Structure 1
Amino acid sequence: MLLDEDPATLIHHTVGNFNIQPDKLAISRINESLSTLQQARDLRVREAESALKKLSRQLTTLHNHHDELVSSNSSAAHASEIATLDTKKFRIAKTANDLEIESERLSSQLADLQAKLQELELQGVDGRDMAKRPQVEDETSLKLKVYRSLGIDIERENGEYSKAIIRNAQKGDLHVVNMDSKFSKFFYANYFWNTL
């Protein structure tokens, strides 16, 4: 009885009962989403490929630049130049040290010559003392003479004794001591004796 009807009519009624329109719309939306997602993925892939090509070009450029630098600057030449500069540095330092020692020696010699000149000026032209009676030397002059006899020259600056030059003839040494008021006379006396 039911099968007596036309199959096309039966199929049409069956399709109408299933209501597949919402499913078709959902499938259409899914296809659109898939299409949009594929386009976005393609765009991201193109951007990544472009960035990769750019980084690859930079890497090639840097690699070439590195190869040029390595080939133009050999490590042996660099080491040789460093050794030459070190030699010059030590030679200059030694020369500066030698000049400083020579300067101190000449300063000491100048102090001796100035003291002798002062003595000669006090004696006069004919070698006799200018004063009728012998001059009594004061305490400071006597101390300076004792120091000089020991090989110590003391220099005065702004009315204060600020520098002592100590010569040790046996050792061939020359020491210059800058005296400061924050150290005691006892300290300097001990230092002078130890140096002599």
Structure 2
Amino acid sequence: MWRCCGCCSRNTPNNHFHPTILYQPPTMLLDEDPGTLIHHTIGNFNIHPDKQAVTRINDSLSTLQQSRDLRIREAESSLRKLSRHLHSLSAQHEEAEAVHDSGKHAAEIVELDTKKFRIAKAASELEIESERLESELEMLKERLADLEAQGLEGDEATRREREMDDATILRLKIFRSLGIDIEPDEAGNFNRAVIRNSRKGDVHVVNIDPKFSRFFYSNYFWSTMQG
């Protein structure tokens, strides 16, 4: 249906029309009751898997919430322990600062440095003395080796020098060359003579008595050797 839009009064041709759609009330397409249709439509939906999924999600959320609460409690417990430890350390630090004497500490450091220097000096001196003693020990070892190589009577030059200076050794040497050995007793006194006669192969032992003179024993020794 066509209807004038009102523009005819503005000197427009009378044949100017605009198309206009007329309102028509809706008509019922189905004869069934809407409630019955909705009820049948709901029956066609399968919502059981969705309900199970929602249940699982709720269980997971509950488990996560419990785990989160447990972690929060553990974190709070650790925080309390750390707070107590921090408080204890702070108290100790404050106490140490209260009793700390910087001047006394510096004096102790100086004293320790002095002791350290003295100990280092003593150690150096001991090391030098040790080296000197080691050198002296090596010299003594060499001297001992020389003496052991020479024997109890020493080397030939030493023995000659000692024999020249010791009249007793010279006399014993003379007696020995004549075949007479003078033997000392436990006290070191020469009071026994062993006379050997090489021609006869005889051996005479004479105990020297101080009451007889040296002249007597000289003649006796000579006569025995000549025997």
- After TM superposition, the score normalised by the length of structure 1 is 0.44
> Looking at both structures, which has the greater relative contact order when contacts are Cα pairs under 8 Å and sequence separation is at least 6?
1
Task: Tell which structure's C-alpha radius of gyration is larger.
Answer: 2
- After TM superposition, the score normalised by the length of structure 2 is 0.39
